[in-house]
Homo-oligomer: A and B are copies of this chain.
Amino acid sequence: MNKSIGIFDSGIGGLTVFAAIRRALPNESLIYLGDTARVPYGTKSAETVIKYSIQNAHFLTQRGIKALVVACNTSSAYSLPFLRKEMNIPVHGVIEPGVRAALAASKTMQIGVIGTPATIASNAYEKSLKEIKPSVRVVSQACPLFVPLVEEGWLDNEVARLTARNYLESFCEKIDTLILGCTHYPLLKSVIQDVVGKDVILIDSAEAVASDLKNDLSRQGFLTGDGMRSELYVTDLPARFEAVAMNFLGRDIPLVKRIEL
């Protein structure tokens, strides 16, 4: 089907998901919306996150999309049921794919989840893990400083290392799999891996979403071959946007347009 795939996130963290989908589906057109004027969602109330998510989804559906990917964990945790009721296209969150990948990887069924305060408070990962595998043991930890660290570009220095130790050291002996429940966190992968130890498997849900989406579109016969075209929209253009986006995408950044919601 000759329509785009729509992706939204509270900001630019979802560009890890954008990049994974671009790798998995190089012939699809993608429209990405980053709500940079209202970032972060991770510290906001459920009500506000749902309202903003619906506005973002409407912007993308007005442009004609065949599938919607909610690349923000906080938004996936709170707004997925509302979006699925309002939209008549498939809506993919980042939580379910991450959960299935973690359950497939874990041997001890002792799984860790890290994310923003709002994602962890929503309990969405634990609920979703236990729905599929009731016997699983879940340990959760909010890591509010990880997002600002990534946006500062401190991906592998002493502050990043010490912050990771503060958050993770207490629970890393109890788990064999750790879900990176925030799209920013894959950029801290090497620091996180060092702290939790090399035997703990890190689950990056961007990869899991991209693979789910590919299977889904293919099953429905919705894949297209019209060549790749990317559009990036943001609700605000902060001073360091390009520098931060380059941490996520490398030098291959599509043209960015600013819109009002």
* In the complex, A148 has a CB within 8 A of chain B: yes
Chain B: minimal CB distance from A236 (Å): 5
Chain B: minimal CB distance from A25 (Å): 31
* In the complex, A54 has a CB within 8 A of chain B: no
* In the complex, A107 has a CB within 8 A of chain B: no
Compute how far the CA of A234 lies from the CA of B94 in the bound complex, rounded to whole angstroms: 30
Over the window 6-49 of chain A, the binary record of Cβ atoms lying under 8 Å from chain B Cβ atoms (1 yes, 0 no) is 00000000000000000000000000000011110001110010
Q: Give the nearest-CB partner of A244 in chain B.
A: B43
Q: Give the nearest-CB partner of A235 in chain B.
A: B48
Over the window 148-188 of chain A, the binary record of Cβ atoms lying under 8 Å from chain B Cβ atoms (1 yes, 0 no) is 11011010011100110010000000000000000000000
The answer to whether B159 touches A44, judged by C-beta atoms less than 8 angstroms apart, is no
How many residues of A sit at the interface, in one of the four size bands? Answer: 20 to 34
Q: A107-152: which have CB < 8 Å to B?
A: 117-118, 121, 144-145, 147-149, 151-152
Knowing A37-B48, A145-B159, A163-B159, the reply to whether A239 touches B152 (Cβ < 8 A) is no
Q: Pick the contact of A236 from B48, B144, B145, B152 — CB < 8 Å?
A: B48
Chain B: minimal CB distance from A121 (Å): 5
* In the complex, A238 has a CB within 8 A of chain B: yes
* In the complex, A240 has a CB within 8 A of chain B: yes
Complex interface: chain B residues within 8 A of A101 (CB) = none
The answer to whether B166 touches A239, judged by C-beta atoms less than 8 angstroms apart, is no
